[in-house]
Structure 1
Amino acid sequence: MIQNLFRKQKKYATIPSPQVKKDIPEGLMRKCPDCGSIIVTKELEKNLKVCKKCQYHFPMTAPERIASLIDEERFFELDADLSSKDPLSFPNYSAKLASDREKTNMNEAIVTGEGTVGGHPCIIGVMDSRFRMGSMGSVVGEKIARAANRASMKRYPFILFSASGGARMQEGVLSLMQMAKTSAALERMHRNRVLFVSVLTNPTTGGVSASFSSLGDINLAEPKALIGFAGRRVIEQTVRQKLPDDFQTAEFLLKNGQLDKVVPRCEMRQTLIRVLDLHTVGGSLD
């Protein structure tokens, strides 16, 4: 009996039964891709989807972003009925659009509307990377152009959050044309001295970064956001040089003068309110 007290006990692994696995709610926890921390989903959402340990910014949906910025119940969506067609009869494009509409409950990769931020009436646009990776098709360009024209007409500041993989290849040249159309609409805003604030989030690349997202009177970005036109490897092969480790990050762009400020998500609303307070009188540039 005494020998049994000092005998090494075998360790057994406990395997949860299928029933126990079913009882654990799906999506209860999230793992931070940057530091590896396990985070309770509800706690993550309370912190605006920012990891408390390493400050990694998880992607936000357009509705979540709008809710974090506007004054309570002060947002009215515009052009919600616009949706993309398949002008080039691109293989499986229509099916993929239908799938994204069902998955996101959105008609397109951007939500535009009117709202108030800190009491300031604004036109707001928010791109959503869940829908075709936020790619810019003809409807995305049209909604941005309409929003800019409305801001110009009503003399409201226009705040646009970009999150995109670039132009939408399934629409070919029609997608590329949106770069010129949106830029022209923003130029009309500039001539009318109406404020345009562009906020670049992770990622903002391709034709979007080369057009409207870089044309703000004030350009802001979230920390560590990937911002650039071509991919890192393509650029290195072209220039035949090793690029800095922080190349195409928000911090790199700030250091080299392309951004005005890198703003953590928890400070974004107050930063925008401060910008609107300083730069707008009735919606026009001071």
Structure 2
Amino acid sequence: MNWITNYVRPRINSIFSRREIPENLWSKCDECGTMLFHRELTDNLNVCTSCGHHMAITPRARFSALFDGGAFAEIEVPAPNLDPLHFRDQKKYPDRMKAAQKATGEKEAMLVATGDIGRTPIVAAAQDFSFMGGSMGMYVGNAIIKAAEEAVHLKRPLILFSAAGGARMQEGILSLMQMPRTTVAVQMLKEAGLPYIVVLTHPTTGGVTASYAMLGDVHIAEPNALICFAGPRVIEQTIREKLPDGFQRAEYLLDHGMLDRVTPRARMRDELIGITRMLLGLPPAVMGDLPPPDPSRAAPAPLEPDPAAPKAPDEA
């Protein structure tokens, strides 16, 4: 009986028991409801392979796809006072910060880095919407100022990816003060004659849209991204009218002159390389791993035949 209990029964249970499947192997598209395998979704830069819907992507994953070889150097951002207003709603502000840091693995809602795209050195900054909605607090303001200072110091263009629900209410007026601070940072770039390119992703709203997100030399958006100051529902309730289809979406804003381009994520890197090099007055980038051709080592042009030279018998 012990042999059956201790060996046979566990052996049968191990063969026929249901194996547990990790929950993070599949993701559901918010737009069409298709179940997507995580590796396939990651390889496609978090874009649905069925309907083309652009899902959220972390700054590190975005930078890995943007920079040459996925290599970039992170820039340290000065840390502000953690809880200047001692704010508390359902949770204390420091507790919310710890929860967001644990969930995302990041210090704050913006990542700043340097690297090359198409062998063109740049400084890049990207907001993380999964970190408290990418809200603009003092750290985000410090990050943009640091990115601008680094770009001026290195004489590189700045490319910023925005994704935010607006200002961070836990920091009150100190959060709103980041609007003029970041505006001054953008002005530093303009005075230095350096390009400032903004890529607006879903969603970009509130004080972020009213400040650094709409001050670029070139504005590019991902497809169907919501870009606004006040949301459509708030506007409908205020004016008591039905808004047009696609109102405040990237394609609508492109048609009405608010954007320069709407570019899918898969083509964003090539688009940014071309625009950056054009603004810097550089020739088009050489694609691939080979070095650009050296004009001095080009093969000489074939000599033109001399009309006075004697002709071969078959040419006579």
Per-residue CA deviations over 1:170-201 (Å, capped at 9, x if unaligned) read 00010000000001110121122110000000
Q: What is the aligned counterpart of 2:46 among 46, 49, 54? A: 49
1:89 counterpart residue number: 86
2:287 corresponds to which residue?
A: none
Range 134-143 or range 77-86, more displaced: 77-86
Aligned: 1:99 with 2:96 = no
Root mean square deviation, CA, Å: 1.6
CA contact (8 A) 2:77 2:146 kept: no
1:247 deviates by 0.6
Residue 291 of structure 2 is matched in structure 1 by none
Instruction: Say if 1:65 and 1:84 are closer, same or farther in 2 by CA, change over 3 A.
Output: farther
Give the equivalent residue in structure 2 for 1:167: 167
Instruction: Please show how residues 5-44 of structure 1 align to structure 2 within 5 Å.
Output: 20=18, 23-44=20-41
Work out which structure has the larger RCO, using CA pairs closer than 8 Å and 6 or more positions apart in sequence: 1
Quote the Cα distance in structure 2 between the aligned partners of 1:99 and 1:80.
Answer: 20
Match of 1:79 among 68, 76, 80: 76
CA contact 1:210–1:229 (8 Å) conserved in 2: yes
Aligned to 2:272: 272
Percent identical residues: 44
Unaligned runs of 5+ in 1: 1-17
CA drift at 1:114: 0.9
Partner Cα separation in structure 2 for residue 102 and residue 83 of structure 1: 19
Aligned length: 264
Q: 1:44 to 1:173 in 2, by over 3 A?
A: same
User: CA-to-partner distance for each residue in 1:97-153, whole Å, 9 max, x for gaps?
Assistant: 011112211111000011111111101001001111100000111110111122123
1:248 aligned residue? 248
Q: Which stretches of structure 1, 4 residues or longer, exceed 4 Å deviation after superposition?
A: none
Deviates more, 1:74-83 or 1:258-267: 74-83
Amino acid at match of 1:257: G
Deviation at 1:77, TM superposition (A): 0.7
1:1-286 alignment runs, 5 A limit: 20=18, 23-80=20-77, 82=79, 85-91=82-88, 92-281=92-281
Q: 1:90 to 1:19 in 2, by over 3 A?
A: farther
CA–CA distance in 2 between the matches of 1:207 and 1:279? 27
- Matched residue of 2:23: which SS? coil
Deviations 1:198-251 (A, max 9, x none): 000000000001110111100000000011011212212333332111011001
After alignment, is 114-123 or 71-80 more displaced? Answer: 71-80
Structure 2 unpaired stretches of 5+: 1-15, 283-316
- For 1:122 and 1:238, the matched residues in 2 are separated by 42
The one-letter code of the counterpart of 1:209 is: T
d(CA) in 1 for partners of 2:81 and 2:99? 13
Q: Which has the larger radius of gyration?
A: 2
Of residues 46-55 and 83-92 in structure 1, the stretch that sits farther from structure 2 once superposed is: 83-92
Amino acid at match of 2:46: K
Q: Take 1:210 and 1:47, find their aligned partners in 2: how far apart are those partners?
A: 31
Letter in 2 for 1:208: V
Q: What is the one-letter code of the residue matched to 2:264?
A: P
Aligned residue type for 2:181: K
- Looking at structure 2, the residues matched to 249 and 36 of structure 1 have their Cα atoms a distance apart, in angstroms, of 21
